[in-house]
Structure 1
Amino acid sequence: MWFFLHYAERILSDSAVRPCEDNVSTPDISRLKIERSASGQIAGTGRSKRRWLRIVLLLAALGLGASVALGRFSGKAPVETVTVALSYPSQSYTLLNATGYVVAQRKASLSSKATGRLEWLGVLEGSPIKKDEIVARLENRDVSATLGQAQANIKVAQANLDQGQAELADAQASFQRTGELLAQKFITAAAFDAAQARLNKARANIAGYQAAIAAAKANAQVAQVALDQTLIRAPFDGVVLTKNANEGDNITPYSSAADSKGAVVTIADMSTLEVEADVSESNLSKIRVDQPADITLDAFPELHLAGTVSRMVPTIDRSKATLLVKVRFSDHDPRVLPDMSAKVAFLSKAVPPQDRQPVTTVQASAITTRDGKPVVFLLEGEKVRLVAVTLGRKLGELVEVQGVKAGDKVVLTPDAKLQDGAAVSLNKK
């Protein structure tokens, strides 16, 4: 502080003396003139200016000195902090990381081959459905009537067959009697021939009746298929993802008509969920089929699921120079949904069960030694507390520790002079 005051005094003294020194070689008699004000008093303008300049410089020096002193003698050491976090040991097995999306390999948009008005819809988004379960129904009274008519035709054909079989039985009995009478010479050969012709005709009628029954059944089957096409069924077990139509909408096979809908609902088999990730072709040497992987979801960062590389699409995306790799889930979780963003860590080996749980880690530079023991300085308010820790495995740039918990803030690269209970200030960069 005295240095700044002394420096200000020198500035004032130099400014007072310098004008005289500059004109030593050239005397000026006019400078001996005494200036007076209008009232006849001697003017002191120059002296007053120098006095005020001195005061301003003194105040500036005091302010500057006080700020320096506060920063130097406050006793708070500037430090940087880092947060203790939870990490997974599988990070040490990671060969490559990639991003992708969850997709269902078994997915279908359910629609009808028939055209009609949607009369009933029995599911909503998220509804679980079973295979062959009726999801929706189109208006089908006309098709039902056609089916009833075809089934009635079957009965008519069956009745004709029954009548034909009765005629066949009578013709056979008549033929047998005429044969016996002809042997006894009681009837002519013409009567016998007529009985045989009647028998052949009855047999032919039976064949016709049977063909009519087959045709009637075929027509009934056609009508039944047409009726079934108005019933939209689930092709496999799954969950309804989207509902694309409502009751009263017109449904057409290809949605070609105006104001009509094609698919009624979209379903997916959740057991076939996979992650599709793009891997740069320069890293293909690190990927192989059946390679273990660790899958995390952006929606649930704390959720780590085991996976396996199921297949690699044998073509390169020329525009991105990437290969599509599909990773199936070994662990299934109901929270996993299609189209979720996911991160895939391709591992060098499968993660053992003991490494599936997260551990407390901190950056290695936050750990120091005191009395030969590893410690960290835990930030508590504006002071630090020395905490002894137990070191574990090294996970990349992190070290597993015990003695602190996730979320604690510790000093990064603590100074050798930093002691327990010392007051600190955060070094803002």
Structure 2
Amino acid sequence: MTKQQKLYGVSQLCDLKQSDIQSHLADWLIMSRLLLEPDEMSINGSEQAFDYQELQQVVENFGMEEDFWLQIKNPEEETTIHLLGDTLFEKSIIREKTFYYWDTVYLDYLKARLIQHGLFAYLRSYDEYLYHNTSELVKRRSFESAEETQALPKMKGLNGDVVVDCNNFPGYDVFYKGVCLTSCWWLFLGESYKKLFAKPLLLEIQQVEKVGELGGGVFFELYKDPFQWQEEPNLRFQQLFRDQLGISQLSYTNGIGLLKQPYIEFAFEDTVIQTVQYQNEQFQPTEKNRASYFVTRTYNFLTNQYRVNRMKGGLNALAYFPWIDDESERMMNYHILYPELTLDKGLAAFEYYIRDSIEFKIQDARYKDYTAVLQLFIPKKAFLDFPLEDLKAALNDMTIHQVSRKNDSLTFSLEKEAKHLIVSFIDQKKVSAKNHLDILEI
């Protein structure tokens, strides 16, 4: 991989007053001059030679409701600030040498801003950011060979082109409920993230170099050197951090998810967040199907009411089938999938979710005689080229019978050893039309 050895920084400050904006802009200009020796600047997209006096005057005249941005740069480095209403977005790309010369000053500068108004921020190797967030095959040629790209997982982009599936990378940036979720060397999650994570959960994240409160939020340092991100232990720390936050459970862009066991699961209801974290015998984070301990948290981000409980045990039927109808003795789970974004028509995803629903041991005798139902909601057009025969071949260790196929649905029964599962593929429009899921519709 061709390396640039630069540090990439992003931050977002919110709820700023006019005096805050003037102060933050002035500090940005001073910090930027320390970090680099600019020879160019851009004022709202208009590029020109760097002129400190002119830029200083522009900063002094920044208004509250403007949509305005400034950038100063040299051939190798740049810093940018964007004012949008009462929000400031800041971005910087600086050389490794520059960062280590000013690292203490730069981190103090960033932390001071985040303590007051911070929503989100991260610092990371620019090489790491590009590697984990560049999906277009042609663009990856700038830092890796075609052979290296060929070995990576693929998916279809929104325009139908084959692209790299970045969901498989630990440092992939995704968005959920308007906030960025990612994993990288240094990360700050502000108070707004309490709508996703209770603060005690964040402060108890394991196997990171540093974690602590910063203003109303929490900061993390995953490992010591941002430029050693490719070291195997650091990649493991980065992936484990992502797994502990359940980022891939909350948001993914490949239409099917990661097809692996979660470390944490969420349930949201109005202002209440419920989470279940899975831990092993040493109270360390682990996959759901290997868990010995279960940490349940209930948090109301409006009232700040918080409860936590750790218990030892095994997974029950509710862990795999959250919707249970005692009257009809049926239990159900569902997933909404977009197989058109995959290269195999969704085959791997179908097999994974089916096996996940039948290849587990129900320890609570109460549900042993209940009928298990898995509903997979897919677009209607996916039924036109559904890989039924390939799916049967993938499930050749199971008995498949009672196949019922229609234009907008496909249902069959599966048996493996003493276990029984009814699988229904259903047109997604049926969910939106009814605005609820009917576990009896199979």
TM-score calculated relative to the size of structure 2: 0.19
Structure having the larger proportion of residues in helix: 1
Say which structure, 1 or 2, has more relative contact order (CA 8 Å, 6+ apart). Answer: 1
Greater CA radius of gyration, 1 or 2?
A: 1
